[in-house]
Structure 1
């Protein structure tokens, strides 16, 4: 599926914003007095961080390919 360069840049920007919020959430939860109480939320946030990081990498690759193509 083909996407416009502007759409890809905006998607990347939105994902990066979400990544920032997720990383802050992990820091906050891990910094709590009893972080094991939040183990499932921390695990979910870390999995989402990994997934969104992959998405950003793929978007960056697509943007780079679009410049050369």
Structure 2
């Protein structure tokens, strides 16, 4: 599947926004009085953060590749 630079930039912007929200969610859960009660939610959010970080990295690589071709 082919994407143009503007589509990739927008996808990255959306993922960055979601990453910010996930990081804030983790902070909120970890700041709770009993964070162990939220252990599964914290774990899930952290796994999603890592997956989105990989996605951003791959998008950035693709943007760089497209920029070099033009």
TM-score range, shorter chain: over 0.9
Q: Deviations over 1:11-54 (max 9, x none)?
A: 00000000000000000000000000000000000000000000
Matched residue, 2:37: 37
Matched residue, 2:55: 55
CA distance in 2: counterparts of 1:64 and 1:31, whole angstroms: 38
| Structure 2 unaligned spans of 5+ | none
TM-score when normalising by structure 1: 0.98
Shift of 1:66: 0.3
Matched residue, 2:17: 17
Shift of 1:60: 0.2
Write out the 4+ residue segments of structure 1 that deviate beyond 6 Å after TM superposition. Answer: none
Instruction: Tell me how large the CA RMSD over aligned residues is.
Output: 0.4
| Structure 1 unaligned spans of 5+ | none
Instruction: Kindly tell me the number of residue pairs found equivalent between the two proteins.
Output: 69
Indicate the SS of the match to 2:33: coil
TM-score when normalising by structure 2: 0.97
